[in-house]
Amino acid sequence: ETGVTQTPRHLVMGMTNKKSLKCEQHLGHNAMYWYKQSAKKPLELMFVYSLEERVENNSVPSRFSPECPNSSHLFLHLHTLQPEDSALYLCASSQDRQGFGYEQYFGPGTRLTVT
Amino acid sequence: DAKTTQPPSMDCAEGRAANLPCNHSTISGNEYVYWYRQIHSQGPQYIIHGLKNNETNEMASLIITEDRKSSTLILPHATLRDTAVYYCIVRVLNNAGNMLTFGGGTRLMVKP
């Protein structure tokens, strides 16, 4: 596997379910991100992890809970979601280093539908 | 991050150059210009970035005006596979947290 992978690619869940999205990066990067892309809206940054520490929580509801067990893996735990949480959830990674460009590499996304 | 303004959509004929403008009139001296694109149903893809000099790589060229208040992304020979939404983002290079703020972008349609 190369780049950034995300599983599952598609997920349908009820409002009372608990599920997790998984992201894995094979690029040796030290920062990982979760973004949300709703229909006809710009990408919204949700969470940022740098060196496995959360450095940003962009006012995301507590029904979304991120976890970064190591620099290669990132999870997004979901519980008690609402239909308006249906969206494409994108994971990205980058190599943080002072003074250099840190382009982000994105995974293919998980298309989530909450029923 | 400085706000950017892009046209919502553009068309380009296949094989011709696609010139995508971006206005960032409030850009600060230490803010870089980044371009990403998102092909339908895929994650965004990094294209290029620059500070004040023009930049070129295998994908595109980035032309930044001398006052840095606007820039143009150039795809020299557009193909149908270049049909995507193109995002212009400006940000401070050393800003902790490495947060990208995406706007609406420009939807480029390359036509045969």
**Integer Cα distance of A23 and A4 in angstroms:** 7
Q: Does B8 touch chain A (CB under 8 A)?
A: no
Question: What is the least distance, in Å, from the CA of B3 to any CA of chain A?
Answer: 13
CB-CB under 8 Å, B98 with A48:
yes
What is the model's pLDDT at position A52?
72
- Surface-to-core class of residue A72, CB atoms within 10 Å of its CB (0-12 exposed, 13-18 middle, 19+ buried): middle
Instruction: Indicate the DSSP class of residue B5.
Output: B
Instruction: Indicate the DSSP class of residue A85.
Output: G
Question: What is the least distance, in Å, from the CA of A35 to any CA of chain B?
Answer: 10
pLDDT in tens, chain A (115 residues): 579 999 999 999 998 889 999 999 999 998 899 999 998 788 888 988 887 777 766 689 999 999 999 989 999 999 999 999 999 999 999 887 654 556 889 999 999 999 9
Q: Taking CA atoms, what residue in B is nearest to A56?
A: B97
What is the model's pLDDT at position A1?
56
CB A81 within 8 A of CB A114: yes
Task: Express each pLDDT in B37-95 by its tens digit.
Answer: 999 888 999 999 999 989 999 999 999 999 999 999 999 999 999 999 999 998 866 55
Q: Does A53 touch chain B (CB under 8 A)?
A: no
Q: Does A114 touch chain B (CB under 8 A)?
A: no
What are the structure tokens assigned to A13, written together? 């869940």
Task: Express each pLDDT in B4-42 by its tens digit.
Answer: 999 999 999 999 999 999 999 988 888 889 999 999 888
**Integer Cα distance of B37 and A4 in angstroms:** 16
Q: Does A108 touch chain B (CB under 8 A)?
A: yes
**Integer Cα distance of A63 and A81 in angstroms:** 6
Instruction: Indicate the DSSP class of residue A84.
Output: G
Nearest Cα to Cα of residue A74 among A86, A89, A85: A89
Q: Does B97 touch chain A (CB under 8 A)?
A: yes
What is the model's pLDDT at position B94?
54
Contacts of A104 in chain B (CB under 8 A): 36, 44, 46, 98, 100
**Integer Cα distance of A11 and A19 in angstroms:** 9
Q: Does A102 touch chain B (CB under 8 A)?
A: yes
Contacts of A100 in chain B (CB under 8 A): 93
